[in-house]
């Protein structure tokens, strides 16, 4: 159930994008829960026809889900899917990712994604025909077919890489209702001679299995795609991708014209999460190591469907050093980006190059990715370095250098990666479950430091590490005055970062005979700060709309086609100054909104 802060944010988003009718309908559903069209009309004082007309657009965008109970087939109930509404705020970031991934001038991917975001979902055949029909009449059949083929290739590429995903009937229905209906069906099939507990357990197991199978159909590698030809030149059916690989890369596939596609927000959330992890690595280790780490995370984008997917430390999720190195930008220079210890007059030697007796190893070996040199035969060493560089395909990137950066990530306190094996120059595993909590913890501590200062952060960390502490222990550990501790602890308590536990020593519970213990509850603290972020987003969005409302004449003039391309010609000096001030304010607010969106994703989506 959406909170009041989320409700306010959803309403202001819909008011801006779809108008007051959509805002009113969704606000009524958020306030009263699931309703029929007649009940919505009664609560909102709108006509039933107006409600049904607005619900069409809302359902098309999956902002509202519908459910028809088989027991009452003539009644349709509607409920809000608030996650999809909040995802509207990610539109700019999504288009930015698509533009960077499909920057080729021949690609129509950015245009396709933008249109799908506007319409909610599109049928592939309808979109291709409509886009083809937009061509001018003077164009010949060749140009028309060329445009259609270009759109088809771009849509196929997006579907293969799962940036767009096919929709099924169950995507427009509440998952809880689907499961409940499956449970009822399986419960009715159980033998009446069984005990009630046995019937419930059997029905629950069967319903869960059927639900997972049903929802798993959208995760099939060839979902929304069809084969251009059923057999290869040798008469064999083309090989399917591995189970743990997302999407297809086989050129024999194309989009199914009957498939209905929508933007896959889960795919973009994976990219957002990887960007956040790379930023954390850049902040703690360095920008060059962060680029290596980002490429490692990029390898996982072809293995995962969504951020909530469980990733186990098995061979299916191990990434080799060779695959990371091959995906790095060839212009990236990794040579001498890590300073190694020096011995014997300045010659570089890794610490692991010494044997158990403290003597240098006689041969040059590779353990853990570090080069170990005995200080002799420098010419042979140089030749070997050249061979390693040639092996990588770049004089600036070698397997050894990539391994060194991965070792830095593995030895970091944040445990960015785990050394998993030795195949392909070494294998690595990213513990996403642990890093999800790390991102939340680091972001929360940064908020505390920015809001209350470094002393508050130090006090918070001590309490979190100790578990439960009283003021006396805090004073001895933090080396702060009692009044400072009391003030900071009370401030953090009001913010929601700390809780207070009372432990009475007597039955009368007098304060003198009571222990007061401070402690930190992560889930409660994260939930409180998340709601504060939703409130801030709502207020900033409202501020932008309020500022626009104060300049209706100027904004109406800017919407004119003749003014759009010639603002300098048609706007007076006063109007130019007015629009400059308005755009400057909007830019500042949008920057803050973008930063808050990143924090919301960390605490709510990853």
pLDDT at residue 278, rounded to an integer: 95
**Ranges 81-95, 125-139, 567-581, most confident:** 81-95
Question: Please, are residues 109 and 70 in contact by the beta-carbon 8 Å criterion?
Answer: no
Token pair, residue 108, equals: 């129509």
Tell me the backbone φ, ψ of residue 244, rounded to 5 degrees: -95, 10
DSSP letter at 174 equals: -
Q: Stretch 403-424: mean pLDDT, rounded? A: 89
467 vs 379: which has the higher pLDDT: 467
pLDDT at residue 147, rounded to an integer: 79
Average pLDDT score, the chain = 83
pLDDT at residue 425, rounded to an integer: 72
pLDDT at residue 565, rounded to an integer: 77
What number of CA atoms fall less than 13 Å from residue 291's CA on the CB side?
15
Q: Stretch 517-535: mean pLDDT, rounded? A: 94
Query: For the segment 112-139, what is each residue's pLDDT rounded down to a tens digit?
Result: 999 999 999 999 999 988 765 444 434 4
* Of residues 524, 531, 465, the one with CA closest to residue 499: 524
Query: For the segment 27-61, what is each residue's pLDDT rounded down to a tens digit?
Result: 999 999 999 999 999 999 999 999 999 999 999 99
**Coil vs helix vs strand at 186:** helix
Q: Stretch 480-507: mean pLDDT, rounded? A: 88
Token pair, residue 421, equals: 């094996």
DSSP letter at 77 equals: E
Beta carbons within 8 Å of 271's beta carbon, 6+ residues apart: 97, 301
Interstrand relation of 260-263 and 122-123 (parallel, antiparallel or unpaired): antiparallel
The full DSSP string for 348-394 is E--GGGB-TTSPBPSS-EEETTEEE--S--HHHHHHHHHHHHHHHT-
Question: Please, are residues 112 and 155 in contact by the beta-carbon 8 Å criterion?
Answer: yes
Q: How confident is the model at residue 356 (pLDDT cuts 50, 70, 90)?
A: very low
Measure Cα distances from 198 to 179, 186, 189, 192, 556 in Å.
19, 12, 12, 10, 67
Q: Stretch 235-258: mean pLDDT, rounded? A: 61
- Round to whole Å and give the CA distance between 172 and 304: 23
Question: Please, are residues 559 and 571 in contact by the beta-carbon 8 Å criterion?
Answer: no
For tokens 């709108």, what's the residue? 46
- Round to whole Å and give the CA distance between 475 and 486: 10
For the chain, give the percent of residues with pLDDT over 70: 84
Query: For the segment 283-335, what is each residue's pLDDT rounded down to a tens digit?
Result: 999 999 999 999 999 999 888 888 888 888 888 899 999 999 988 888 888 88
Give the orientation angle of helix 20-32 with respect to helix 48-60, to 10 degrees.
90
β partners of residue 77: 67
Token pair, residue 290, equals: 């962060």
Q: How confident is the model at residue 343 (pLDDT cuts 50, 70, 90)?
A: low
Query: For the segment 195-227, what is each residue's pLDDT rounded down to a tens digit?
Result: 999 999 999 999 999 999 999 888 888 888 988
pLDDT at residue 515, rounded to an integer: 81
For tokens 């578990």, what's the residue? 467
Token pair, residue 359, equals: 């003597």
Q: 82-86, 234-238, 403-407: which has the minimum mean pLDDT?
A: 234-238
- Round to whole Å and give the CA distance between 59 and 404: 51
Query: For the segment 327-339, what is each residue's pLDDT rounded down to a tens digit?
Result: 888 888 888 888 7
For the chain, give the percent of residues with pLDDT over 90: 54
What number of CA atoms fall less than 13 Å from residue 222's CA on the CB side?
15
Q: How confident is the model at residue 141 (pLDDT cuts 50, 70, 90)?
A: low
């Amino acid at each position: 159930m959406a909170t009041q802060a989320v409700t306010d944010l959803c309403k202001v988003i819909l008011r801006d994008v779809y108008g007051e009718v959509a805002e009113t309908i969704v606000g009524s559903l958020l306030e009263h829960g699931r309703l029929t069209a007649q009940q919505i009309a009664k609560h909102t004082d709108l006509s039933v026809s107006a409600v049904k007309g607005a619900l069409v657009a809302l359902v098309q965008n999956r902002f509202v889900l519908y459910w028809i109970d088989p027991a009452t087939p003539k009644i349709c109930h509607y409920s809000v899917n608030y996650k999809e509404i909040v995802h509207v705020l990610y539109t700019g970031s999504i288009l930015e990712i698509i533009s960077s991934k499909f920057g080729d001038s021949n690609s129509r991917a950015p245009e396709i994604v933008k249109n799908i975001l506007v319409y909610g979902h599109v049928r592939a055949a309808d979109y291709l025909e409509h886009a083809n029909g937009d061509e001018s009449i003077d164009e010949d059949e060749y140009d028309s077919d060329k445009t259609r083929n270009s759109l088809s290739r771009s849509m196929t590429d997006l579907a293969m890489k799962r940036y767009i995903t096919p929709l099924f009937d169950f995507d427009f229905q509440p998952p809880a209702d689907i499961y409940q209906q499956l449970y009822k069906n399986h419960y009715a099939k159980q033998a009446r001679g069984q005990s009630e507990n046995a019937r419930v357990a059997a029905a629950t197991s069967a319903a869960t299995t059927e639900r997972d199978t049903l929802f798993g159909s959208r995760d099939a590698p060839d979902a929304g795609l069809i084969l251009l030809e059923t057999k290869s030149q040798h008469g064999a059916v083309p090989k399917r991708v591995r189970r743990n690989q997302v999407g297809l890369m086989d050129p024999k596939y194309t989009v199914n014209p009957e498939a209905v596609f929508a933007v896959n927000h889960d795919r973009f959330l994976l990219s957002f999460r990887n960007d956040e992890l790379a930023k954390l690595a850049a902040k703690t280790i360095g920008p060059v190591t962060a680029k290596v780490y980002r490429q490692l995370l990029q390898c996982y984008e072809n293995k995962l469907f969504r951020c909530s997917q469980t990733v186990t430390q098995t061979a299916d999720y191990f990434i080799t050093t060779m695959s990371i190195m091959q995906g790095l930008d060839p212009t990236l220079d990794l040579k001498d980006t890590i300073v190694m210890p020096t011995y014997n007059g300045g010659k570089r030697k890794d610490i692991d190059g010494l044997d158990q007796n403290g003597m240098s190893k006689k041969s040059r070996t590779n353990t853990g990715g570090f080069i170990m040199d005995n200080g002799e035969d420098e010419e042979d060493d140089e030749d070997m370095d050249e061979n390693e560089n040639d092996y990588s395909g770049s004089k600036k990137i070698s397997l050894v250098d990539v391994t060194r950066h991965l070792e830095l990530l593995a030895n970091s306190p944040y445990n960015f990666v785990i050394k998993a094996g030795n195949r392909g120059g070494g294998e690595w595993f990213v513990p996403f479950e642990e890093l999800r909590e790390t991102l939340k913890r680091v972001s929360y501590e940064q908020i505390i430091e920015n809001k209350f200062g470094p002393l508050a952060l130090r006090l918070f960390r001590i309490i979190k590490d100790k578990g439960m502490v009283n003021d006396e222990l805090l004073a001895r550990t933090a080396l702060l005055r009692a009044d400072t501790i009391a003030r900071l602890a009370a401030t953090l308590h009001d913010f929601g970062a700390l809780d207070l536990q009372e432990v009475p020593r007597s039955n009368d519970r007098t304060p003198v005979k009571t222990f007061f213990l401070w402690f930190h509850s992560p889930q409660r603290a994260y939930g409180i700060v998340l709601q504060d972020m939703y409130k801030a987003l709502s207020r900033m969005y409202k501020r932008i709309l309020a500022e626009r409302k104060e300049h209706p004449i100027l904004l109406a003039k800017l919407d004119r086609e003749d003014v759009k391309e010639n603002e300098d010609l048609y706007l007076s000096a006063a109007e130019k100054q007015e629009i400059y001030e308005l755009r400057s304010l909007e830019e500042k607010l949008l920057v803050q909104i973008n930063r808050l969106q990143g924090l919301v994703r960390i605490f709510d989506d990853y």
